[in-house]
């Protein structure tokens, strides 16, 4: 009888373990996922500059650069995750349509994310989601004889997909694809040559493509 009970208990333990392994996916309720990576960006920018005196001027330019990001996500359910991401933006713009100088810009973003995890296996997770948050930006022109700095804060919104491939149960590589919108309603435009300030409405839309690493626990 004792041997029968022992065999039965062993079979139940094996069956329970197999069931848990069968249910285990690359993203589950209660999971924490930490990730970090780099993105290539390509944006279309539109600036409407309103000086203290005179008519408004509209500028259009292209910007490319790199974004370095780190984030954390928590599994509220097996199919839904919430998270936060911080990013440092390092832009290189095209030639300015007014000054004919090539400007550069840096920025930072803090984004709250909501992700759906509907496509997943034991080692693959393909979340899709949206992000919304706070962004700051500063333009720099490489001479102080024409234009100084353009600096301000605004909002960022994106729609993204982040396929994640795990090499085991915890560590893996991820890819990032996103369409991103930036809006800065009241950016201060400081003209060092003229000694004047202007107000700028700046918007940017474009594509993010990136790769990174993640750790799940």
The predicted pLDDT at position 5 comes to 55
Q: What is the pLDDT along the chain (217 residues), one digit of tens a residue?
A: 555 455 445 444 444 443 344 457 999 999 999 999 999 999 998 888 777 766 677 878 888 999 999 999 999 999 999 999 999 999 876 666 666 666 778 999 999 999 999 999 999 999 999 999 999 998 776 554 555 677 889 999 999 999 999 999 999 999 999 999 999 988 876 665 555 567 778 899 999 999 999 999 9
Tally of structural domains, the chain: 1
Backbone angles phi, psi at 15, to 5 degrees: -65, -40
Domain extent at residue 123: 2-216
Q: Which residues on neighbouring strands pair with residue 202, listed in sequence order?
A: 47, 184
Over residues 121-174, the pLDDT tens digits come to: 999 999 999 999 999 998 776 554 555 677 889 999 999 999 999 999 999 999
CATH number at residue 120: 2.40.160.20
The answer, as to whether pTM is greater than 0.85, is no
**Cα(60)–Cα(96) distance, integer angstroms:** 8
The predicted pLDDT at position 73 comes to 98
**Cα(153)–Cα(137) distance, integer angstroms:** 6
Backbone angles phi, psi at 127, to 5 degrees: -75, 145
* Closest residue by Cα to residue 207 from 163, 152, 160: 160
**Cα(124)–Cα(140) distance, integer angstroms:** 42
Helices (H), the chain: 2-23
Residue 140 neighbours by CB distance under 10 Å: 15
Distance of CA 217 to the CA centre of its chain: 21
Q: Which residue has the tokens 């973003």?
A: 109
Which two structure tokens, joined as six digits, stand for 19?
A: 């069931």
Q: Which secondary-structure segment (H or E) carries 122?
A: none
Which two structure tokens, joined as six digits, stand for 1?
A: 């009888």
């Amino acid at each position: 009888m004792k041997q029968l009970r022992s065999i039965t208990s062993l079979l139940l333990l094996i069956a329970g373990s197999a069931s848990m392994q069968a249910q285990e996916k690359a993203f589950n309720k209660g999971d924490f996922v930490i990730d970090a990576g780099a993105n290539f960006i390509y944006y279309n920018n539109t600036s409407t500059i309103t000086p203290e005196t005179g008519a408004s001027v509209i500028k259009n330019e292209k910007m490319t650069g790199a974004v370095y990001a780190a984030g954390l996500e928590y599994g509220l359910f097996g199919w839904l995750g919430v998270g936060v991401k911080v990013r440092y933006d390092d832009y290189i713009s095209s030639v300015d349509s007014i000054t004919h100088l090539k400007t550069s810009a840096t920025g930072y973003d803090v984004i709250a994310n909501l992700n759906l995890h509907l496509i997943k296996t034991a080692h693959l997770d393909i979340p899709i989601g949206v992000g919304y948050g706070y962004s700051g930006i500063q333009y720099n022109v490489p001479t102080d004889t024409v234009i100084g700095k353009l600096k301000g804060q605004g909002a960022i919104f994106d729609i993204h997909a982040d396929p994640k491939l795990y090499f085991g149960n915890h560590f893996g590589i991820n890819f990032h694809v996103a369409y991103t919108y930036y809006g800065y309603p009241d950016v201060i435009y400081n003209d060092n040559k003229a000694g004047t300030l202007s107000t700028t409405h700046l918007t940017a839309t474009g594509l993010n493509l990136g790769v990174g690493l993640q750790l799940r626990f």
